[in-house]
Structure 1
């Protein structure tokens, strides 16, 4: 899996169209390395426009991509669009957790 910078731009569409979505920045694990990524989600579904325009089951997406709660940051739509406006950046916003676009070692050092 390669870092898809466009995932950070794609969540703007998700946040604009999905009123009950949360914007997520997180580390995905492909079995060999950690990759920084962004997506939108509801309690049941993930909207990752770099993979599909259709919603994906949240539990299946998390399992397939090695997503863990401690390796992500969630933003409400208001928080996300405020940060976007304030920083003029699509993210990531937590530069300490998201220190690179890819990492061969666990970002949390575990």
Structure 2
């Protein structure tokens, strides 16, 4: 990622600012044969992932294609997200135990369970 391009976490700022029903999600996705810490927004049954598209996507398709599971996610209301941005001074991730790395060659839940954080 070029430093000129926002991170997935920074991309959440725009949809969270524009819609008070948006939920910010930090989660692991499976892409290019590896697990990647990522962020996106959700509204009803739609996903807004500005790192992938300027259009919203169907949540069930997004979850299936990226192998998203609730156990690999942390959810924040827009108020919680903006509070954390102010308190922490960055856009995430905030759960450093779950998001122990940007990329993992192993399932992050297995890594955490084994105690062998990469």
Q: TM-score, normalized by length of structure 2?
A: 0.86
Unaligned runs of 5+ in 2: 114-118
Please name the residue that 1:61 is paired with.
62
Instruction: Please list the CA deviations of residues 60-108 of structure 1 after superposition, one character each: whole Å capped at 9, or x if unmatched.
Output: 0000111011000000000000000000011000000000000001111
- Residue pairs, 1:11-50, within 5 angstroms: 11-30=12-31, 32-50=33-51
Please name the residue that 2:116 is paired with.
none
Count of aligned residue pairs for this structure pair: 107
Please name the residue that 2:85 is paired with.
84
Q: Report 1 or 2 for greater relative contact order, CA contacts < 8 Å, sequence distance ≥ 6.
A: 1
Q: CA deviation at 1:46?
A: 0.1
Q: TM-score, normalized by length of structure 1?
A: 0.92
Unaligned runs of 5+ in 1: none
Displacement over 6 Å in runs of 4+: none
Q: Which has the greater radius of gyration?
A: 2
